[in-house]
Amino acid sequence: MKELLKKEPVTIISLILAVISAFFVHPDDQYISYIDFRTLSILFCLMLVMAGLRKENVFKYIGEKLLERTTTKRGLAGVLILLCFFFSMFITNDVALISFVPFSIEIIGMMDDLEGEKKSSFAIKLIVLETIAANLGSMLTPIGNPQNLYLYSLSGMSIGSFIGLMLPYSLSSLIILVICSIVMFPKGKGSSDETVAKPDDSSYGEAKKSFSKKIITGYLILFVLSLLVVVHVLPYWAVLIATILGVFVIDKNTLKDADYFLLLTFTFLFIFVGNIKRISPVKDALLSILYGREVITAIVSSQFISNVPAAILLSGMTDKIKLLVIGTNLGGLGTLIASMASLISFKFYGQIEGSKKGKYIVVFSLLNIVFLIILMAIHLLISCQA
Query: In angstroms, what CA-CA distances link 273 with 14, 33, 120, 300, 313?
Result: 10, 12, 43, 18, 6
Confidence (pLDDT) at 266: 84
Please give the angle made by the CA atoms of 31, 34 and 38, to the nearest 5 degrees: 130
The per-residue pLDDT of the chain, averaged, comes to: 87
Query: In angstroms, what CA-CA distances link 26 with 30, 31, 81?
Result: 10, 9, 48
Single-letter amino acid, residue 140:
L
Helices (H), 56-92: 58-67, 73-91
- Rounded CA gap, 86 and 89, in Å? 6
**Across 131-149, average pLDDT:** 95
pLDDT band at 202 (very low <50, low <70, confident <90, very high): very low
User: 369-379, pLDDT tens digit by residue?
Assistant: 999 999 999 99
How many Cβ atoms are within 10 Å of 267's Cβ, its own excluded? Answer: 19
Out of 84-88, 119-123, 305-309, the most confident range is 84-88
Asked if 276 and 286 touch (Cβ cutoff 8 Å), the reply is yes
Q: 3-class SS at 72?
A: strand
Please give the angle made by the CA atoms of 233, 237 and 239, to the nearest 5 degrees: 60
User: b/e string for 81-106 if b means 16 or more Cβ within 10 A?
Assistant: bbbbbbbbbbbbbbbbbbbbbebbbe
Instruction: Tell me the Ramachandran region of residue 105: left when phi exceeds 0, alpha when psi lies from -120 to 50, beta otherwise.
Output: alpha
Closest CA to 236 of 46, 91, 98, 384: 46
Confidence (pLDDT) at 45: 93
Q: 3-class SS at 386?
A: coil
Is the predicted pLDDT of residue 323 greater than 50, yes or no?
A: yes
Confidence (pLDDT) at 90: 92
Confidence (pLDDT) at 112: 64
- Rounded CA gap, 384 and 252, in Å? 52
Is the predicted pLDDT of residue 193 greater than 50, yes or no?
A: no
pLDDT band at 198 (very low <50, low <70, confident <90, very high): very low
Rounded to 10 deg, the angle between the 236-251 and 213-230 helix axes is 170
E-assigned strands of 114-260?
Answer: none
**Across 74-78, average pLDDT:** 89
Confidence (pLDDT) at 197: 46
Is the predicted pLDDT of residue 209 greater than 90, yes or no?
A: no
Say how many CA atoms lie within 13 Å of 278 toward its Cβ.
18
Helices (H), 143-211: 146-155, 159-184, 192-195, 206-209
Is the predicted pLDDT of residue 113 greater than 90, yes or no?
A: no
- Rounded CA gap, 54 and 46, in Å? 12
Is the predicted pLDDT of residue 191 greater than 50, yes or no?
A: no
User: 240-258, pLDDT tens digit by residue?
Assistant: 999 999 999 999 999 998 8
> Which residues, in sequence order, are CB contacts of 82 under 8 Å at separation 6+?
133, 177
For residue 189, the cross-strand partners are 72
- Rounded CA gap, 310 and 331, in Å? 9
Asked if 294 and 318 touch (Cβ cutoff 8 Å), the reply is yes
For residue 72, the cross-strand partners are 189
Closest CA to 130 of 163, 108, 158, 160: 108
